[in-house]
Chain A
Amino acid sequence: MLDMLSHSFHLLIFPGGLFALLLGLLLKGFDRKICARLQRRVGPPILQPFYDIIKLSQKETIIPDTANKAMFKFAPVFGFMGMMVAAMLIPVPGVWNGASGLGDMLMLLYLLPIPAIAFMLAGSASSSPYGAIGTSREMVLMFAYEIPLLVVLLTVALKAGGADGSEFSLAQVVAFQHENGSFGFNLSMLPAFIAFLCFIPGTMGVVPFDLPEAEPELLEGPLLEYSGPLLAMFNLMSALKLVVVMGLGVALFFPGTIPGGAVANLAWFIFKCFMLMLVSVTIVRTATGRLRTDQTFKFYLKYPSVLAYVSLGLTLLFK
């Protein structure tokens, strides 16, 4: 019974649910503002993502006649729910070390592609040719960035397993790093960290890897036909995903804590998420243009995958 209550709390309030939503939207606001300032624009207010959600939720939803209506409505809900569950598994070091029975990296590996799958469902359900192209691009992109992610997670698991075996529980991974130092400062883990940094813009769908949405080419692709609350649902999904991916990065590579109790560590966690986003999302999307699908695929096979394998090899060698 108590277990149920605590799971509900983690799902709906902290670290998933309310906390993750607020943090995700805030991070998105900062992302937009900083990107604008880097381009010497004024940029929207930091709270703009919140205003967007409020506005969209009050609007009418228009569903195209030719769309598969059930699937069209289901896709954003599916993506949102998947991310809600994923956000619950993210440990906040020093505040909450992850659900010990649930916080498994393999589970996250299955939950993380859900937004991409939701996009594919949305794209094919909307019956727009742009949605169809977006769907096929999303599929290609997913295959490209999932490989480095898998290898990175494997490397971390082997490293955290110590001298023998492997450790797939995120809580244990964090605990191991608290004892033996963060992986981010470990030389043999450095290639894996860089591979993870490359994975982030791909999974977040930002320039240079925003192929499925690519506004000037595909007019937002799968999102083209969406409006109103359903679009807001997609926005919330991507805000949650931002927190999940950044939280995963913090847990995998920089779970260090600072003295000063839960409140200080919560601020520390938010700060780390922000810095990670700054490096891997904001600056990357400001400094680059969009790649083509074939170029993206080649990039992911060439660099992040190789880097991740190098880390895996080093970890196995010095075990």
Chain B
Amino acid sequence: MSNTYTIPVGPLHVALEEPMYFQVDVKGEVVQSIEMFAGHSHRGMESLALERNFFQNIVLTERVCSLCSNNHPLTYCMALENIAQIQVPERGQYLRVIADEVKRIASHMFNVGIGLHVIGFNTLFMHAMEVRETMQDLKESIWGNRMDISANTIGGAKYDLDDELEAYLRKTLEELKKPVEEFKHMYATHPQVKARTKDVGILPPEAAIEYGLGGPVARGSGIDNDVRKETPYAAYDKLKFNVVLGEGCDVRSRALVRLGEIFESISLIEQCLDQMPKGPICCDPLPDIPAGQAVARSEAPRGELIYYMRTNGTMYPERLKWRVPTYVNWEGLRVMLDKAKVADIALIVNSIDPCLSCTER
């Protein structure tokens, strides 16, 4: 075939789960060029945020996205605390880290599982979901909900761990280690997974920097970039952890970075449980929120999440704006999808862990 033809990938595509539309020009089975369209599910959330007071906005931001639903309210609260100079009690900071890392484990496991489903490896996909289910049960037991765990509030955390819950958390994490280790081993050694993911969707480190990518996508190309390490928030400055880096620059490398981060997350939660002091979990009473503006950053499972907020002294924000990791990461798809095979499109798109509900809010 000499001329190219266009195939639509999305906006309703079985492998993409979310409404993202790629117009892909292919020649035979090779991608020639790609055009991306977004905006199919715009909800006007930035405008909605202006009609709600600060406390209502915690609930609103939690519903921006389901998989990083802890990072949105966390970063929102941090921005507000920056404006009002609120000091979060130490215990509250540790509790925030615990909620954050539990969500991260579940999110990473989900993404790696979907990647396996895309290459038709349904057995390992089921296995991944089963491992993730442990975290879902954990969330339901501690926070009472499987996705929106509502762990943050302005000035601290909304939940506390008693001895029984702490023991339960420790036990669950201990039980999680072996299945995750097994799963990582299977992912890393299965020849077929290797054949499908190695050297697919190459993202050179230079391109990652040029496009300003973040999160596991950049770390999979060896870019040492983790907000938790660079500008520690919550209790991350008191905890020891490694930034997991990959060298393959491909789909496989990004998945292995995510799997590696699960172990770091488990270790982080255990350190939190060891070091966490007794005391208040939340700043009480809260001071008045003055007029001002602030920016807060955090490391969501998909990369760097930034919140900008401006207040005017009332109970309502004057402007609330967030920049989500997927928004920067999907520009990297132009590099990764160049000269890719049609068979790999869904796999590569999945490897940036796209979250459209964050991006089109």
Give chain B interface residues in 187-220, CB to chain A under 8 Å. 190, 192-193, 195-196
Does B7 reach chain A (CB closer than 8 Å)?
yes
By the criterion of a CB under 8 Å from any partner CB, how many residues of chain B are at the interface?
A: 33
B1 (CB) vs chain A CBs: closest residue: A136
Knowing A38-B123, A41-B126, A289-B196 are in contact, say whether A217-B7 is a contact too (CB < 8 A). Answer: no
B interface: dominant SS: helix
Other-chain residue from B5, B14, B130, B193 in contact with A216 (beta carbon distance below 8 A) = B14
Q: Please name all residues of chain A whose beta carbon is closer than 8 Å to the beta carbon of B345 when the two chains form the complex.
A: 217
A293, B196: Cα distance in complex, Å: 11
Other-chain residue from B15, B127, B192, B342 in contact with A133 (beta carbon distance below 8 A) = B342
A295, B122: Cα distance in complex, Å: 19
- Smallest CB–CB gap between A192 and chain B, Å? 25
Other-chain residue from B7, B120, B195 in contact with A214 (beta carbon distance below 8 A) = B120
- Smallest CB–CB gap between B268 and chain A, Å? 30
Contact B14 A215 (CB under 8 A): yes
Knowing A40-B130, A291-B192 are in contact, say whether A129-B120 is a contact too (CB < 8 A). Answer: no
By the criterion of a CB under 8 Å from any partner CB, how many residues of chain A are at the interface?
A: 28
Contact B343 A292 (CB under 8 A): yes
Other-chain residue from A39, A210, A286, A288 in contact with B192 (beta carbon distance below 8 A) = A288
Other-chain residue from B28, B121, B195, B342 in contact with A295 (beta carbon distance below 8 A) = B195
Contact B120 A292 (CB under 8 A): no
Other-chain residue from B5, B124, B127, B195 in contact with A291 (beta carbon distance below 8 A) = B195
A215, B122: Cα distance in complex, Å: 12
A218 (CB) vs chain B CBs: closest residue: B342
- Smallest CB–CB gap between A129 and chain B, Å? 4
- Smallest CB–CB gap between A289 and chain B, Å? 3
Interface string of A38-53 (1 = CB under 8 A from B): 1111000000000000
B350 (CB) vs chain A CBs: closest residue: A216
- Smallest CB–CB gap between B251 and chain A, Å? 13
Q: Please name all residues of chain B whose beta carbon is closer than 8 Å to the beta carbon of A130 when the two chains form the complex.
A: 7
Contact B7 A290 (CB under 8 A): no
A218, B120: Cα distance in complex, Å: 12
A288, B192: Cα distance in complex, Å: 7
Other-chain residue from B118, B120, B126, B343 in contact with A208 (beta carbon distance below 8 A) = B120
Q: Please name all residues of chain A whose beta carbon is closer than 8 Å to the beta carbon of B130 when the two chains form the complex.
A: 40
A23, B346: Cα distance in complex, Å: 36
Contact A289 B343 (CB under 8 A): no
Provide a sorted-by-A list of 10 A–B residue pairs whose CB atoms are within 8 angstroms. Answer: A136-B28, A210-B120, A216-B15, A218-B342, A219-B13, A287-B123, A289-B120, A289-B190, A289-B192, A290-B120
Q: Which residues of B contact A (CB under 8 A)?
A: 5-8, 13-15, 26, 28-29, 116-124, 126-127, 130, 190, 192-193, 195-196, 341-346
